[in-house]
Amino acid sequence: MAIHIGLIPAMEDNNIHDITVITNSISAASKVLESKVDPFQNMVISVVYAIKSYLFRDGRNRIHF
């Protein structure tokens, strides 16, 4: 959730071209890959679409994990 709250406003600013995200990716990945449907999975889908849009909007845009 913190990634969602922090990433969305940063990606909406046209003056930001490099974003660095520091997270415990193993924990997040395990929640995404769980066999049961989890609200976390639904949130990830919207974030992925926002990231895709951000990256394709400007060739300089990058996100570093």
Segment 41-59 shows an average pLDDT of: 84
pLDDT tens readout for residues 14-43 = 898 998 877 776 666 666 666 666 676 777
H or E element in which residue 59 lies: none
**pLDDT at 48 (0 to 100):** 82
Q: Please, how many CA atoms are within 13 Å of residue 18, restricted to the half-sphere of its CB?
A: 1
**pLDDT at 25 (0 to 100):** 66
Per domain, the residue ranges of the chain are 2-64
The pTM (predicted TM-score) of the whole model is: 0.58
